[in-house]
Amino acid sequence: MSDQAVKLEVKDRICTLMLNQPEKLNAMGDEMAKNFAEALEKIKADSEPRVVIVTGAGRAFSAGGNLDRIEARIGSNPNINQKNGYDFYNVFLRILELKIPTIAAINGHAIGAGGCLALACDMRYASIKSRIGFTFAKLGLHPGMGAEYFLSRIVGRARTFELLMTGDVITAEEACRIGLVNHTAQPEELMDKVMELAKKIAAMPVLPIKMLKESIDASIRGSLDDTLRREATYQALCYMGEDVQEGINAIREKRTPQFSDEY
């Protein structure tokens, strides 16, 4: 997929999904949406990947929506615009359907919908030279692609108001301070740091990691009792496999555990 708007590579159980139109600052248009959908289907059909890294080629993560695409919709049928907007954003947000953890490696500016794609990932690492902003209002637009949904859950209500109503573009350091990104790194070290995290997760037993992908999000929506019941159910399933015994043996023998790939 190297000539396409999205590049996909799987190596050592880690999948890298790269937005691949650096000459356009990886702005999100119809071609990228089509290739992104195809890439997600390939990931879903592949049993090898344990972690997905999302990043951008060149100097940007993504500049957001393609301006020509946005301009072409000015003054056109609102019903058509509503359907197109809903369908377009949902193509990228189908990354939420993946059953394995996702990490955004924010290598450069992540603006508007590009920032939302990073928010849709489970974790975020950012280059100290990157900038993140949700600039929809500066274009005269209401936010799209779940901006208020993700931001309110990640940084809270008050900061969501500030970020969306001003359209301010913030530094990676500020994004880290308010909890929008997990960690920052020097530009030349970003992918190494992200790969280190991905390898650590990929070495974990498959079953509890896949369960955690679902249960962490479910715990945000549910009650404590819901969470406890889910935990008890999922732990019971884990006890049916061999990885718990391997984990115990590794601790007792002071060695690195060798977990099964079965689940």
Distance of alpha carbon 12 from its chain centroid, rounded?
20
- For the chain, the domains span 6-202, 206-253
Q: What is the pTM of this model?
A: 0.93
* Fold topology of 6-202: 2-enoyl-CoA Hydratase; Chain A, domain 1 (3.90.226)
pLDDT in tens, 29-83: 999 999 999 999 999 999 999 999 999 999 999 999 888 888 988 999 999 999 9
What mean pLDDT is reported for the chain?
Answer: 94
Q: Which candidate, 46, 49, 93, places its Cα nearest to that of 209?
A: 49
Question: Who's near 105: CB < 8 A, 6+ residues apart?
Answer: 53, 54, 55, 61, 125, 190, 191, 194
Query: Residue 1: pLDDT above 60?
Result: no
Measured distance CA(71)–CA(88) in Å, rounded? 15
pLDDT in tens, 196-249: 999 999 999 999 999 999 999 999 889 999 999 999 999 999 999 999 999 999
